[in-house]
Structure 1
Amino acid sequence: MPERRQGVTLADVARLAEVSEITVSRILRNHGPAAPATRDRVLAAVRETGYVPNRLAGGLASSGSQLVGVIVPSLTNIVFPEVLGGIRAALDGSGFQAVIGVSDYDLAIEEELVASLLAWRPEAMVIAGFDHTPAARAMLEGSGVRIAEIMEIDSTPIDLAVGHSHVQAGFDTGQYLLGRGYRRFGYVGHDWNADRRARLRHDGLVAALASAGLSLVTTQRTEGPSSVAAGREQLAALLAQGPKPDVVVFSNDDMATGGVFHCMAAGLVPPRDLALFGFNGLDIGQALPTPLSTMRSNRFLTGRTAVEMLLAQRTRPPQPQVIDTGYEILPGATA
């Protein structure tokens, strides 16, 4: 088995905090008294170094575990079960097992999951996206294990990024629809704070319109998560406020499917009365009586490629790596 890079150690924390290793261990295990100033100094050193206590004992600690940690933001969004399917396929027959945590799009919960999973010294970690708390990033960087940040490639990864550019996907959406003759664009979206990738696609769309001397004529966005119901409600609100677009781009297929349902209820026929375009290429959109025009991301391939890359090379390369798994436009019939 390839030699693993040594992560942050108890000695590193002790050196930074200017105390003994025994003192650090005692404070982290909450055993015995410690001066408040000493405790604060040790905990600050832990946060700064990204140190994670080792939950494995004895000989196992030196060789790691047969685990691959995986953190995704949701299991109700069909996108992520498909990613997990790719991860499972890559692990099949490898001797490794995935341990999965769900963050609910909450970076504080993600930080707790990072600490918990790294404490078991996994062989590698797969985590969705580039957004992490400073403490979580420090733990991931200092862990000494392979780290794959998946679903996007628009930033520099800690180690390995696998996915596609959401800025480019948004730009290509705009270019495609401009090529179809649309000029009055609306946008319906969901919470950008929880879903950075949706914001990046929006920004790419805006850039494509700007390159043609255009801009969005109307926008409607909910502060909650994406859903079919939210898409239906937000399209109704967008059309009620005016001005009327000739095409509406949605943050994803859940929202766009809701838009289709609003059109059915309001007697609007896409694309004759209003064109609709989504993102993700979900089965539900393609099963509609009028298949949704959208862009399909390669989610299964993303999960499988990430794990295959991590297990093929167990030590981090000198420079971060980026793997683009791409996407494709599904013409559908709503735009």
Structure 2
Amino acid sequence: MNRPTPADPRRTLTLRDVSEASGVSEMTVSRVLRNRGDVSGTTRERVLEAARALGYVPNKIAGALASQRVNLVGVIIPSLSNMVFPEVLTGISEVLEDTGLQPVVGVTNYSPEREETVLYEMLSWRPSGVILAGLEHTEASHAMLAQAGIPIVEIMDIDGTPVDSAVGISHVRAGRQMAEAILAAGYRRIAFLGTQMPNDHRAKKRLAGFEEALAKAGVTLADREFYSGGSALLKGREMTEAVLNRTPDVDFLYYSNDMIGAGGLLYCLEAGIDVPGRVGLAGFNGVELLDGLPRKLATMDACRLAIGRAAAEIIGGKRPTGVVGGEVIELTPTLQQGDTIRKI
């Protein structure tokens, strides 16, 4: 086949351009590009080659007018700088790859109002589904989700009532399990270090479960240190120094995430503090990037990849149930004691 002559760059390419370049009817071109109908392999390749050569991209909005849906899946997450969510996105992309559905990402920066805006824009494109982090939303966001008429999957958390489907872990149980492991290792003067948590509902639930388990053993937190802003090694160092200076008899530091926990570990090691003998430490998320630290930080795997995959399976109708939506899938995180909790 001769290479098609490029069209005028100021004019939008149409099916007719691909039809003329490939020598087949517009209807056949449409069938090939939508992967519908019975078209021979030779003809299909001719159409696809012509489309590639021309740089033709189908107008999904025009093609969706009859169905009122496009093949996009809105994925709304709090942050891209937080190393948790890229792995979730990897799981989503892997599953959707052969479904014809394309994930489109929006970032909220942990702001409920920003989530509301992003959700409104996403839904205005009439996506085939929405995946978003968390179970807590503004009233307007909740109403939009409830009336969307498409599969909705809220991810990362199952401690609450989802709009449609939910995939995640119980953060209350995760906090409780970590407290039980810390107490079992003999620590009693325990401090919590983490975000202010007005909008980090999952960290708030972990702390609630953590304190519940401590209270059951007759223990209360010896100190708390909160911060606002992103998770960072420097922030972890500063917070750890503040707590140990203020409450020097603290013997365990529980961090809301691994990044500030890693900063705390580096501070302790540089200060010559015996870890885990004098002070134990633990974080949350199981971030593999931190495996190169001088000591392996105790943490809990948040099942990030599995959460992304399961959410995409629900949206793509690939679950064993064969039903799209209406599922609550609880995954079980694994406690990794590493080198920063005393061995029992």
| Counterpart secondary structure, 2:154 | strand
- Which residue of 322, 326, 330 corresponds with 2:328? 322
Secondary structure of the residue that 1:125 maps to in structure 2? strand
Q: Distance in 2 between matches of 1:127 and 1:276?
A: 31
Candidates 230, 238, 242, aligned match of 1:233:
238
Q: TM-score, normalised by structure 1?
A: 0.80
Match of 1:89 among 68, 81, 94: 94
Q: 1:242 aligned to 2:247?
A: yes
Q: Distance in 1 between matches of 2:219 and 2:64?
A: 63
| Counterpart position of 1:15 | none
Query: Given residue 143 of structure 2, which amino acid in structure 1 is its aligned partner?
Result: A
1:122 maps to 127
Partner of 1:36: none
Task: Specify the alignment match of 2:339 in structure 1.
Answer: 333
Matching of residues 38-187 of structure 1 within 5 Å: 56=61, 60-187=65-192
Alignment-derived partner of residue 207 in structure 2: 202
Count, aligned residues: 279
Please state how far the C-alpha of 1:257 moved relative to its aligned partner: 0.4
SS in 2 for 1:239: helix
Which amino acid in 1 is paired with 2:309?
R
Q: Which has the higher contact order (CA 8 A, sep 6+)?
A: 1
**Cα distance, 1:61 vs structure 2:** 4.6
Q: In structure 2, what residue type is equivalent to 1:128?
A: A
- Please, which of 289, 297, 300 is the counterpart of residue 292 of structure 1? 297
> In the TM superposition, what is the alpha-carbon distance from 1:58 to its structure 2 partner?
7.5
Structure-2 separation of matches of 1:184 and 1:91: 47
User: Using the alignment, how far apart are the partners of 1:85 and 1:191 within structure 2?
Assistant: 29
Distance 1:113 1:75 in 2: 15
Q: Could you say which residue in structure 2 is the equivalent of 1:30?
A: none
What's the Cα RMSD here?
1.8
> Aligned residue for 2:54?
none
Paired AA for residue 134 in structure 1: E
Distance 1:177 1:155, change over 3 A: same
Residue pair 1:145, 1:316 contacting (<8 A) in 2 also: no
The offset of 1:183, in angstroms, is: 1.6
* One-letter amino acid of the structure 1 residue matched with residue 332 of structure 2: G
TM-score (norm 2): 0.78
Tell me how far apart the structure 2 counterparts of residues 200 and 285 of structure 1 sit (CA, whole Å).
24
Runs of 5+ consecutive residues of structure 1 not aligned to the other structure: 1-54
SS of alignment partner, residue 137 of structure 2:
coil
Whole-angstrom CA distance in 2 between matches of 1:156 and 1:321: 11
Over the matched positions of the two proteins, sequence identity in percent amounts to: 41
Tell me the CA shift for residue 60 of structure 1: 2.5
